[in-house]
Amino acid sequence: MKSVFEYRNYREYIRDFYESRKRCSAFTWREFAKLAGFASSGFLKLVCDGKTRLSKVAVEKVLLALGLFGAQADYFRLMVSFCDSPRAEVRSSSFEKMMKIAQENRVEFLEAKAFAYFSSWANPVLRELAPIMPGASPLEMGHTLVPAISAAEARESLDLQESLGLLKKDECGNYHQTSEGISSSREVMSATVIDMQKQYARLAVDALDRYSRDYRHISGMTMGLDREAYERLAAELDAFRKKVADIVSNVKSYDRVYRLNLQLFPLSKKVGEKNEKE
């Protein structure tokens, strides 16, 4: 069985542990639950199937059954937080700590670069900006961003994107975009992309004061919706985003990088439902 440090999803680790034991003996979910001290014989199977979660107390019971101690136990606890926390910032922090523990135990994190790319709003901006600034230094590129970033931060971003294959240098040292994309696990993408969206939302707030209406278009409306109307609007927003992508694909020469946010979110609970689950 693989080391726990090679996993990103604790449910997969528990299932693989069970399957490994089952191949060597007549191990059952009932025995597994009993080994961990759970009264319900099917509890751990429900966990693996994603139908329930592990509480902090349950995590400690499972660790004993799995035989994980020290750094391995710390890593497993972080995996639970990474997979189950409803807060993006907690998932992001947990993933960073997982990477550190894995690296300390000489296990390479294949998703580390993807995580780094989506950790900063500046990376996608530089990917768009670098190709239209031939001959520019990292300092010049960094200071073209709004708000500006340092030369070191710009250099780090450019190097990262070269290593990911998102940008490529020609013989003159100028950058060109490639058609490559970033692939990573669903859990990693979820934790990092949400954090980036928050960064862009804060930049949108700053743009209200930073730019005149000649350079920004920020508007909105507050409305009452039922579920059917919400789904229709969401579909229209998806269709609009595709139209935007079509317009952008036909731009042959650009001189500025923009960000477009499409936001539709509730501002109240459902009337008559006190314990609504989001």
Mean pLDDT confidence for 190-210: 88
3-class SS letters over the chain: CCCHHHCCCHHHHHHHHHHHHHHHCCCCHHHHHHHHCCCCCCHHHHHHCCCCCCCHHHHHHHHHHHCCCHHHHHHHHHHHHHHHCCCHHHHHHHHHHHHHHHHHCCCCCCCHHHHHHCCCCHHHHHHHHHHHCCCCCHHHHHHHCCCCCCHHHHHHHHHHHHHHCCEEECCCCCEEECCCCCCCCHHHHHHHHHHHHHHHHHHHHHHHHHCCCCCCCCCCCCCCCCHHHHHHHHHHHHHHHHHHHHHHHCCCCCCCCCCCCCCCCCCCCCCCCCCCCC
Query: For the segment 19-60, what is each residue's pLDDT rounded down to a tens digit?
Result: 999 998 889 999 999 999 999 999 999 999 999 999 999 999
Mean of all residue pLDDT scores within the chain? 91
Kindly tell me if the per-residue pLDDT of 274 is higher than 70: no
Contact indicator for 33, 42 with CB cutoff of 8 Å: yes
Going 60 to 15 to 112 to 104, the CA torsion angle's sign is positive
Mean pLDDT confidence for 192-218: 91
Query: 252 pLDDT band (50/70/90 cuts)?
Result: confident
Query: For the segment 166-190, what is each residue's pLDDT rounded down to a tens digit?
Result: 999 999 999 999 977 776 666 677 7
Kindly tell me if the per-residue pLDDT of 270 is higher than 60: yes
What confidence score (pLDDT) does residue 275 get?
A: 60
Set out the domains of the chain in order of their start, with CATH numbers.
4-107 (1.10.260), 110-223 (1.10.10)
What confidence score (pLDDT) does residue 88 get?
A: 81
Q: What's the pTM?
A: 0.75
